[in-house]
Structure 1
Amino acid sequence: MKFVSSLFVLLSWMQLLSTQDTEIPKYGDLIILVDSSDSMGLKTFNQLKSYISRIIAEMQIGVDHYRIGLIQYNEDIHVGFSLSEFKTKSPMMNYIKNRFLFQGRSLMTGNALQKVHEIILADKHGRDKSKYPQVLLVITSGSSNDEINPSISTLKQDGIRIITVGVKEASLDEMQAMATSPQLAFKIANLKDLNAKDMVTTIQEVVEKTYYVEGTQTPVKANTPVMSELLKLTSSFDVTQWTNTRSDDP
């Protein structure tokens, strides 16, 4: 009967999935949160400015495409530009080049995550999250001087998908705790290994993967060939009748 129960749960979940809107989002709202503390340092910060500009250059920006917000943090956060401020790449790139300046001071990631969450909730121009998922890209250089777990839990409970990039002395444990899944935590030994195209691909994959198996961090695309065939099978499968015929099983 354990097998029957397990199969019943699996088939029920898949049938429920088949009744939901399976349209996969193409774009989202991306907030880039960049460590600007003493542990990052001016030289590395300036290298990351170039990396961020290359990411933006590779993305489709617009009202019906990606929106991007940029924030730097140390003991507090400093908003560069909000999600709704710039609608094209050019002003974003100009801001990063001329006005996105290194700050220094200590590193408090927990405080930054909490305030970023407040900014997201306060967005008066917010879009439908089912069509435009919210993604947070955190770039950090060391261990936080404050507690991060409460802020992480709040962000994840609100469905915000998190990618982390760590440079210098970044804590892999903290990065993996922040990320939606450990596979979305990238510790970089050499800044030359930072590839903007790869990150844009990762962001796109995170936006598109909207279905998660309960109790795991494993995303399941509803429109993959395998899932489509399984959904066809379960849509015509009478689970109740099958379990009744198996009621005599030990």
Structure 2
Amino acid sequence: MLLVDGSGSIRNIDFQTIKTFFAGMVSNFNIGPDSVQIGLVQYSSNPITEWHLNTHQTKYSLLKAIANLVQLRGSTFTGRALNYTLQNNFKPNVGMRADSKKIAVLITDGESRDDAILPSQKLKDAGIEIYAIGD
């Protein structure tokens, strides 16, 4: 799962750089229902699932979704986004396979307006590896 900070503190040019980074990363994987699946949650004041793990069955479809991603704006609530992702995205009904690694990659530009430590620990306790990329 990709978690991207779409808050107003992210400049438009930086959001475009994030999208380019995602596209480059996706290009290195075989995307499909029996291969790599990538979902994305964008967050600011409130998180939203842009697409679930099982939404895009081809690399082309996923790259098109990344290109069409529109920044939310708002404030940075990383803790809320982490809780949301645990509750809504690492589930079998939206593509989580029991035998696959659970990985969350978080990209943010800075400090959260809420606590992110406890929510990140909840993800770790659920067996989800978290990688954070920040400014």
Q: TM-score range by the shorter chain?
A: over 0.9
Q: Distance in 2 between matches of 1:126 and 1:153?
A: 20
* Structure 2 partner of 1:113: 82
Q: Is the 8 A contact 2:2 2:105 kept in 1?
A: yes
* Equivalent position SS for 2:104: strand
Greater radius of gyration (CA): 1
Give the TM-score taking structure 2 as reference length: 0.93
Q: Is the 8 A contact 1:41 1:104 kept in 2?
A: no
Q: Report the alpha carbon displacement of residue 121 of structure 1 after superposing the two structures with TM.
A: 4.4
User: What is the count of residue pairs matched by the alignment?
Assistant: 134
| Unaligned ranges ≥5, structure 2 | none
Q: Is 1:151 aligned with 2:119? A: yes
| 1:1-250 paired onto structure 2 within 5 Å | 31-98=1-68, 100-124=69-93, 125-128=95-98, 131-167=99-135
State the percentage of identical aligned residues.
28
Runs of 4+ that moved beyond 4 A: none
Q: Distance in 2 between matches of 1:148 and 1:90?
A: 33
- Name the structure where helix makes up a greater proportion of residues: 1
* Equivalent position SS for 2:38: strand
Deviations 1:143-183 (A, max 9, x none): 0000112211110111000111113xxxxxxxxxxxxxxxx
* Equivalent position SS for 2:29: coil
Give the TM-score taking structure 1 as reference length: 0.52
* Structure 2 partner of 1:210: none
Stretch moving more, 155-164 or 34-43: 34-43
Higher relative contact order, chain-length normalized (CA < 8 Å, sep 6+): 2
Q: Distance in 1 between matches of 2:42 and 2:90?
A: 18
Q: Report the alpha carbon displacement of residue 120 of structure 1 after superposing the two structures with TM.
A: 2.8
Q: Distance in 1 between matches of 2:86 and 2:118?
A: 12
* Equivalent position SS for 1:34: strand
Q: Distance in 2 between matches of 1:62 and 1:93?
A: 13
Q: Is the 8 A contact 2:52 2:89 kept in 1?
A: no
* Equivalent position SS for 1:104: coil
Q: Report the alpha carbon displacement of residue 78 of structure 1 after superposing the two structures with TM.
A: 2.0
Q: Distance in 1 between matches of 2:118 and 2:132?
A: 17
Q: Is the 8 A contact 2:78 2:114 kept in 1?
A: yes
